[in-house]
Amino acid sequence: MINEPFEQEQLPPEQNSARTKRINRGVTAAVVAIIVVLIAALIVLFFIVTPYVVSGRSMTPTLQDGDHIMVLKVGFEIERGDIILFERPGGEAPPVKRVIAMGGDMVRFDGAQWYVNGEALNEPYLAEQTYGEDYLSLFSELSATELEEGLTLESDELFVLGDNRNNSFDSHDYGPVKQDWVLGKVVGVY
């Protein structure tokens, strides 16, 4: 076999120009598509869903200190059992807690069990369901007596608790959370 020099086929100038234009159009379309996807991702990230890092142990075992969560900021409905991120006036970093009662519900605690509207809460997400001896004495803005007798929430209020009940600063300490304090609903952990 004899190595002959490879000759590249030369296209007529008009075909070469058309080929170059097709390539340029393809590259331009790809760049525009990438820019549109990036802009859409930024809109979703900043206005619809936002990442957040959990700080503290109050939601253990469901969420650990340092877990990364995705918070839906628009178009969500809150239901009992949902985990929310909210801002409390005068509070520090926005807390992440579980909603156990909503506007119109009556919350009661008998020293060992939480009740909503007279029914004991079924809480399989708790690591332990016992409360420390000083749990009731930690109630500050709410009195233990008020929760033992029952607290009825206003229509715009939520009662939130951490899943790590013995180590959570939540509604049993500072009272109900106003719905307009809610920043979003936790929709995922990554």
User: Catalytic residue numbers?
Assistant: 58, 97
Nearest CA to 88 out of 183, 165, 164, 181 is that of 181
Q: What residues form DSSP beta bridges with 108?
A: 115
CB–CB of 128/136 below 8 Å?
no
CB–CB of 77/85 below 8 Å?
no
Nearest CA to 74 out of 187, 170, 157, 158 is that of 187
Region for residue 19 given its phi and psi (left: phi exceeds 0; alpha: psi -120 to 50; beta: otherwise)? alpha
| DSSP per-residue string spanning 111-132 | SS-EEETTEE---TT-S-----
26 secondary structure, DSSP code: H
Instruction: Return d(Cα 28, Cα 40) in angstroms, integer.
Output: 18
